[in-house]
């Protein structure tokens, strides 16, 4: 039995789909709210659904059956300003689950983020070295909350303190793909612009506010959600692997290249409209992200990552363009 928190969310629901399709028993822990995110789970056989505030009691009654926890639940909005809310959901909940897994000998994978790298001036090396982690300066409270947990686990590991039999922090880069529809302004640019593009309207991209990057020339490591799921499933099958790992493709691509992939998938000529960036984002915007993937490769993960063009084409043709876009 696998316990997946954030199970109705974007990455979580894709993991639930994969595990359930493989015959695993999956317990989904998440808030379902009043939107349509329940549809992210609707196609899959699930052993139980647990609301997060009921999780401690559920673990007391059922924890012995849990093989591993995949903790993906979090406040994921980089624009969230209620830091107490972020601490409750991103810091306290994660450290509590890691402590429970330590006490009961259960494995855990947890979501970190590329937001921990800040503006990228210190690089994108996923080393768990405490001194290297101390040099990173996240640009927002979300990134700081993920970084706090990474640093705490790295410190415990460096001191030889008790940790779960397998512990893995995953620094996800710019993930896109099916089941992100409930995320509003935090959806990928592909999901946010597809309907506009299909109507014959231009795709909207932020202007650059730095002279060394042209409009649309800002660079990101865009990773298809299926690749993120494949990494997590591989880790669950390889309990000897622990550590902090980037999850990206290792190749930075521009927003203009992303736009080209979207228009090509839709079978339309490219049309771009550059818009002003919200003022609160200008000083906190990442102009370049690119995952270093050597550590995950050295741990034994060998599959190639989906190219931007192939991932966007699959997303558009097999999900966004269909009447039922859910995985």
Whether residue 187 lies in the annotated active site? no
Q: Which two tokens stand for residue 226?
A: 């299926």
Maximum pairwise Cα distance, the chain: 58
Catalytic entry in 110, 117, 142, 224: 142
Instruction: Please name which of 172, 229, 304 lies closest in space to residue 21, comparing C-alpha atoms.
Output: 229
Number of H helices, E strands in the chain: 12, 13
Whether residue 142 lies in the annotated active site? yes
Catalytic entry in 183, 187, 209, 284: 183
Q: How many CB atoms lie within 10 A of CB 35?
A: 12
Say which DSSP state 317 is in: I
Output the DSSP codes for 89-118: IIIIHHHHHHHHHHHHT-EEEEEEEGGGGT
Instruction: Please name which of 169, 174, 166 lies closest in space to residue 227, comparing C-alpha atoms.
Output: 174
Beta strand spans in 76-221 (E): 107-113, 167-172, 174-176, 203-206, 219-220
Query: Beta strand 253-254 with 107-113: parallel, antiparallel or unpaired?
Result: unpaired
Alpha-carbon dihedral angle through residues 293, 294, 298, 301, given to the nearest 10 degrees? 20
3-state secondary structure of 79: coil
Q: How buried is 113 (Cβ within 10 angstroms: 0-12 exposed, 13-18 middle, 19+ buried)?
A: buried
Residues labelled as active-site residues: 142, 183
């Amino acid at each position: 039995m696998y316990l997946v928190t954030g199970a109705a969310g974007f990455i979580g629901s894709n993991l639930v789909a994969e595990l359930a399709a493989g015959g695993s028993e999956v317990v989904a822990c998440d808030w379902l709210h009043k939107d349509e995110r329940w549809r992210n789970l609707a196609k899959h056989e699930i052993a139980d659904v647990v609301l997060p505030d009921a999780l401690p009691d559920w673990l007391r009654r059922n924890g012995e059956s849990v093989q591993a926890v995949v903790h993906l639940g979090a406040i994921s909005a980089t624009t969230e300003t209620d830091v107490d809310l972020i601490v409750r959901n991103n810091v306290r909940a994660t450290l509590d689950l890691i402590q429970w897994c330590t006490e009961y000998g259960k494995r855990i994978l947890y979501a970190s983020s590329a937001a921990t790298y800040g503006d990228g001036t210190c690089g994108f090396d996923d080393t768990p070295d405490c001194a290297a982690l101390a040099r990173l300066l996240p640009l927002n409270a979300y990134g700081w909350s993920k970084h706090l947990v990474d640093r705490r686990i790295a410190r415990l590991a460096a001191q030889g303190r008790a940790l779960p039999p397998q512990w893995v922090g995953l620094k996800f880069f710019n993930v896109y793909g099916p089941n992100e529809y409930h995320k509003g302004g935090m959806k990928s640019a592909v999901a946010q612009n597809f309907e506009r593009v299909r109507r014959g309207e231009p795709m909207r991209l932020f202007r650059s506010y730095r002279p060394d990057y042209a409009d649309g020339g800002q660079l990101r490591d865009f990773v298809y959600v299926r690749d993120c799921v494949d990494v997590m499933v591989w880790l669950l099958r390889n309990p000897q692997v622990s550590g902090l790992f980037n999850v990206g493709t290792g190749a930075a691509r521009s927003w203009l290249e992303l736009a080209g992939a979207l228009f090509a998938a839709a079978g339309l000529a490219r049309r771009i409209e550059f818009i002003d960036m919200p003022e609160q984002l200008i000083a906190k915007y990442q102009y370049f992200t690119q995952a270093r993937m050597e550590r995950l490769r050295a741990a034994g993960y060998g599959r190639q990552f989906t190219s931007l063009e192939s991932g966007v084409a699959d997303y558009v043709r097999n999900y966004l363009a269909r009447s039922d876009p859910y995985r």
